[in-house]
Each structure stands twice: as C-alpha cells, then as structure tokens.
Chains A and B, each alone.
Chain A
Amino acid sequence: MLNTVLDFFPEIPIADKTKAFTEWLTDTFAFLFDPIKENLEGFMEFTADKLILVPPVIIILLVAILAFFISGKKLGLAAFSIVGLWLIYNQGFWEHLMNTFTLVLISSLLSVIIGVPVGILMSKSRTAEAIITPILDFMQTMPAFVYLIPAVAFFGIGMVPGVFASLIFATPPTVRFTNLGIRQVSKELVEASEAFGSTGSQKLFKVELPMARATIMAGINQTVMLALSMVVIASMIGAPGLGTEVLSALQRAQVGTGFVAGVGIVILAIIIDRFTQTVNSKNK
C-alpha cells in the first residue's frame, strides 16, 4: 500500500542515460581521445623503455645520491633507497617497478598541471569554489573502480586509461591545497602587494604562490601518494607494473608473490613520499 507512493514514479533510467552519454562522448570526441591515447601511450612506453634500458645499479646509485643531498647529507634515506630498490631488483620486479614509476610520474605531473591552475581559479572566485568543491568531493568519494569503465571506453586498455583514472582520483588534493594555500596568505601581505600597484598576475606570482608554496607542496605530496595507490586498480585495465603482479597473485591465490609485489609498492611509496616531503620542508 505504502509502496505505491514510492512507486508513483517509474524507475529513472540514470544508468541507461549515463551509458548513452558516455557512448556519445566516446563517439563525438573520438578525434580527441584517439590522438591523446596514441601520443601519451607512445610517450609513456618510450619513457618506461628507456628507464628499463638504464642499468639498475646506476638508477639505484642516482636515487641514493639524490636522497643523500636532499635530506641534508643524512644517510638514512639514502641507505633505505639502496636496500629497498635492491630488494625489488632481487625479487625480479625491476621492469614492473619502472613501469609503475612511469605511470605514477606521468599521472602526478598531469594532476599538478591541471590541479594547480584549477586551485588558483578556485581561490580567486567564490562561485568557482562553490561549483568545484562538490565536484572534488564526488571525484574522491566515488569508488575508483567506477572510473575504469569510462576510461576503457575512451582510451581502450593500457597505461593511458590508467593515467585517466588516477587523474580523477589523485587531482583533488592538489586543487584543494592550492586553493587553501592561497586563501591562507595573510590579508595584509595581499594588501601590501595591491597597495604598491601589483597587477593580478604579479600578485599571484610574486606573493601568493610563493607564500602558498608549502601548502601546495603538501597537496602535491598527497596527489603522488594517491596516484601510487591507483597502481593496483589501474592494472585491472592493463596498465603494466607492480600492480599487475598483485592482481595476478590475487587471482591465483599466490600469497607470497602478492606480498612481495605489495612490499615493492610500499618501498616505492616511502621513497617518493620522503623525497617530496623533504624537498618541501627544505625550501621553507
């Protein structure tokens, strides 16, 4: 009886409409998606291939040296980098590691390139903030698997849809922190730059961005971490890397392989996290 009230409206065909919309997007923008896919795919494969060609020992040493200087000539991070990377090599995951690193690098870069300007826009306009905030919430709370479906529709399988999915998932922190960082710049400093006759872009580049730098870097650090966490999920649509090993171990119930590949991801995460964090705190 009561249900008739609820049943008064027939089921709204949201799923069908979304499907139709996605198909329409795929067809209409094929001219856009296809070159993106081809170029980006080519570029990423090129990068990964070149990285794989470099002898691992050189990469390990380079990372260690960089770690040593970045952390203010302390040995901790450098030692960890050597042992961790060697362990991944030792387990035979080196090629996977390079693929994963390429995926994380490219998606993080794109996230930052898109995220920082959007964050700036948000900080400058209340309207933009009101519109973008719920979109960011949506992007972060929607289960990441859901993005894989349109990603495949647009870009097929491989690295590129992986980048697309991780872009959606990983960009919000950069946007939010950029917005927050700029809004937190002290009002008097903004007034000072205006009082001396700054143009909008002078104010942005000479005062606001330098002042917001630490906050923005914290956001970028988050973005990189989230991009890394998408590695396993992206492997479901054929993005090569450590995630593939985890996934296949899951499918075949190989606890050991799964664990080792997982540890590989953790090691990469720790190294990247410490790198971005120390760069940030050192430049304060």
Chain B
Amino acid sequence: MPVIEVEDLSKVFGKNQKQALKRLDEGMSKDAILKETGNTVGVNRASFSVESGEIFVIMGLSGSGKSTLVRLINRLIEPTEGSVRIDGEDLAKMDKKSLRKVRREKLSMVFQRFALFPHRSILENAEFGLEIQNVPKEERQKKAQEALEMVGLGDYIHQNPGQLSGGMQQRVGLARALANDPEVLLMDEAFSALDPLIRKEMQDELIDLQASMKKTILFITHDLDEALRIGDRIALMKDGSIVQIGTPEEILVNPANDYVEKFVEDVDRSKVLTAQNIMKRPETINIEKHGPRVALERMREEGLSSIFVVDSKRNLKGYVTADDASEARKKDIRDIHEILKNDIPRVKKDTAMNEIFDVIYDSPIPVAVIENDKLVGIIVRGAVIAGLAGEGEVKIDA
C-alpha cells in the first residue's frame, strides 16, 4: 500500500485561485495565466504515489514547482485543490490539530539551507521534534543522541550549529528529522547547498542509512545525477506539472517527451545504465548433450568466435572458441570438456556500466552476466558503446 498518495494536487498563488484553475483546465499555459489573471501556477494537477520504503525523487529546474509540491505534502503551503493522503488520511482536509499530529508523528523535513536553530546546541536541535511533543527530557535526549550517532555526529552534541561545516550541519538536519522516527522523510534539496564531494558522500550515506531504516523518502532535487543516483523512481517536473514518472532507467532510455530527452542528454549514462540494460540473450550449448561439433555448427550459424557452455540448469560451465572446436573436430575429440576454457569475465545484473568497461576492455570474449550462478545474458563490446551513446539496442527488461 502506498504511504503517500497525491491526487490532482494543485496550487495557484494569488487571488481568484479557482478561476485560474479553470483556465488551466482549458489548456492555457502558465505564462498566459500569469499575464491575464496575475496568478502564478505553482503546481498543476500533480498525481503520484510513493510506496513504503521507496526513495521517490522529484526533479526539476528552479521554478518548476518542486519545492512548492513538497510543501503541499506537509501543508506548509495550503493546496488550492486536490488531495494528499498519508496512510490513507487526507491531509488537505484535516483540522489543525490532526495536521500537527501527522507532522509530529509521520512526517519530518530536511531543508536546503539546513534550517538549524542557531540558538540551540546540536543536541537541542536534534531533539526539537521530540521536545515539541513534550517527550520527557531524558528520553528525548537519548533518542536525539542516537540519531546523531547514526549520522556520525555523536561527539559534537554540545557544539553550536555555526561551528560545524555545511556537510555536518546537514547531518544535524537529518538527525533532527530522524530523531522522532517518522515514516516519511521529506528532503527539500537537502544536499544542494553542499559542495560536490560532500554531496556525493551524503548521497552514499543516505543510501546506506536507507538500507537499514527503510523510511519512505520524498527527495527534491534539481540535479539529475543526484536523482538518478539515489532515486528508486523519479518524477520529472516542468512548469508545475509532472512530465514523467519512472525508474532512472526508464527515464533515461525512454524519455516521455522532448523536454525529458533534452534533460537527460548530458547525463553520464555510464553511471546509470547497468549490465541488464545492455546485455543480450546468450547463445549457448549444453555441456551434457552437445560436443565440439554442435558448438562449431552453432558458432558458424550465429557468426560467433566463441560460445558459452552451460548445464541443463543454465549454470555457466565455461566457453569454447571456434579455433579450439575446429581443432577438436579435426582430431576427432568428442568430449567438450577437453577444450573447455573457464577464464570468463563475469558481472552481475546491476553492475554499473562504468565498471563493465574495466572488465570488457581486454577480454577477447563477451562478458557473462550472472545471477545466482546462472547465465542470464552476455554483453558484447558493441553494446557498451551503443549504450553510452544512448542509441537503439538498449532495452529494458526489468
């Protein structure tokens, strides 16, 4: 069951919001509405849902409405229309008291510029969420301390935020959000204010943390690389509307329209595409049934210089080359074991393409893609290059 369900969510700023919404329905553009009615369309009928334990990234350039969208979800901004359901409860229709309860217990937010309270120590910052729930001091300090240790700041609790570097400050922001153990983390450009090295470190750490804590994370960013790195699914926004929702691969490989395509043009695809995106169905022979003769025949049919050998359960046993096979036929060797070679480069289904380079670079034979010891595909050098260039051949069979 999805934790966050957003349906037809819209936000129009200014007076006469309903009128502007009507114009949107009639298909008027954001700019035209601004000119005619003076209303700014922040978010235009966004719908999506986020599953429990998922990292859902909302990605768009500045002005695309992503920051407004995240604030509509915890209702820091009042929606004009539509619904936001957290665990099935509609936040948009809640009274203030229930809204506070949801904010305290289910939603936490991490801010772009950290938004730490400068007049409080690191520990006091981390315990803020618990403090306003009137959790007894000892208990909340203990939980805050745990959260700070989780992000690696256990030794800094009595410092002030101003004494820490940006990356450390955002760790405090993260600890503050984690201390009251929410179901959902809303992260508004949480790493955008950090320099690139620290940002990458924080991304890795978030992924590590997520592996153990399994929160539902809604992550806002303007950085496509970041989105592709950490997102399980990505929603692309433009002018207040969601243009495409999909896994990183889907968005890269099948951009929904020109806008998305232009966006993903510059991405370093080698970091995003994995073995399964570029592998082919392998030609194989069965070690239990076939001999060198069949191997040679198969290779001639397919125009290959080598062929993989598997058993009936598709466990990879090795490969034979065309040269060895024809030699064997001349010498009338019947047992394929005698010419079997086993120095096969292997990768997993989710090995990133940039790591495949190193393997495939000096290998005379294709790379084998292995899952649970079974051969699921092969990668030839041409496919790697095609995948990098973003051309044809790449298929999604996830």
Contact = CB atoms under 8 A, between A and B. Distances in A.
Contact of A189 (B76, B107, B117): B117
Contacts of A117: none
A188 B132 contact: no
Contacts of A213: 119
B100 A199 contact: yes
Interface residues of B, number: 27
Contact of A199 (B109, B111, B117, B132): B132
A192 to B, nearest CB: 4
A202 interface: yes
B109 A192 contact: yes
A210 B113 CA distance: 19
Nearest to A196: B129
**Chain A interface SS verdict (over half):** helix
B139 to A, nearest CB: 17
A195 to B, nearest CB: 4
Interface string B92-119: 0000000011111101110111010111
Contacts of A186: 113, 115
B132 A196 contact: yes
Nearest to B114: A188
B113 A196 contact: no
B76 A194 contact: yes
Given A188-B113, A206-B131, A196 B180 contact: yes
A211 interface: yes
Contacts of A211: 117-119
A189 B115 contact: yes
Contacts of B132: 193, 196-199, 202, 206
A37 B128 CA distance: 45
B133 interface: yes
A198 B74 CA distance: 13
A191 interface: yes
Contacts of A194: 76, 103
Contacts of A191: 71, 76, 109, 111, 115
A198 B128 CA distance: 10
Nearest to A213: B119
B191 to A, nearest CB: 15
Interface string A195-228: 1111100100011001101000000000000000
A199 B101 CA distance: 10
Interface in A212-248: 213
B128 A196 contact: yes
A196 B115 contact: no
Contacts of B180: 196
B115 A192 contact: yes
Nearest to A199: B100
Nearest to B129: A196
A188 B131 CA distance: 19
Interface string A95-129: 00000000000000000000000000000000000
20 contacts: A188-B111, A189-B117, A191-B71, A191-B109, A191-B111, A191-B115, A192-B115, A192-B128, A194-B76, A194-B103, A195-B74, A195-B109, A196-B128, A196-B132, A196-B176, A198-B100, A199-B132, A207-B117, A210-B117, A213-B119
Interface of A: 186, 188-189, 191-199, 202, 206-207, 210-211, 213
